[in-house]
Amino acid sequence: MQNSIDPGRPDTNAKFQSFNRRKPMEPSELCNLAREAMTHAYVPYSGYKVGAALLCADGAVYQGCNIENASYSPTVCAERTAFFKAVYDGHRDFTAIAVCGGKDGVITGSFPPCGVCRQVMREFCADDFMIYLVNPTGFEAVTLSQLLPYSFSAGVHMRG
């Protein structure tokens, strides 16, 4: 049986926004994927679109966007969307993430991860995990330890 897709309707069987690569990914490529992910944001309340592209150690990339809710508390950030998708697919080893955002999808400056997203990153990533903050002229590279210097990690639970 042939599977034909009506061009006027979305392909509900399509799996997108995650793929594997065999060659190393340049930071600028990851930043471009974050920009693309930003276009999928659902932001009817704030208008601030955020996109993220998470690079796994095996070359897989997971994109995420922010998804708002009228009551705000259930809103999910782009970075966590990308991490949760990757973890669901079995990934636990991450190399870098690119993040971008702006009002109505216009990047006017860096859009660093919120504190909750930084803590989620710390759960899975080492201090030297790279975070690329996309800006209008390129990106700024920082490490997780620079954004979260006094982090709370699993090791804290082990201390007696």
Question: pLDDT value at position 20?
Answer: 53
| Catalytic residue (choose from 26, 36, 68, 79) | 79
Geometric angle at alpha carbon 81, from 138 and 118, rounded to 5°: 65
Round to whole Å and give the CA distance between 149 and 123.
14
DSSP one-letter code for 80? H
Average of pLDDT values for 27-43?
98
- pLDDT tens digits, residue range 71-87? 989 999 999 999 999 99
Assess if residue 13 is contained within a domain: no
53: nearest Cα among 98, 22, 21: 98
Domain containing 76: what range? 18-146
Question: pLDDT value at position 153?
Answer: 81
Round to whole Å and give the CA distance between 77 and 112.
11
Assess if residue 91 is contained within a domain: yes
> Is 36 designated active site?
no
112: nearest Cα among 159, 155, 144: 144
Question: pLDDT value at position 83?
Answer: 99
The residue with tokens 């710390």 is 122
- Looking at the structure of the chain, the number of domains it has is 1
Contact 81, 120 (CB under 8 A): no
- pLDDT tens digits, residue range 137-147? 999 999 999 99
- pLDDT tens digits, residue range 92-101? 999 999 999 9
pLDDT level of residue 157 (50, 70, 90 thresholds): low
Query: At 51, which CATH number?
Result: 3.40.140.10
DSSP one-letter code for 70? T
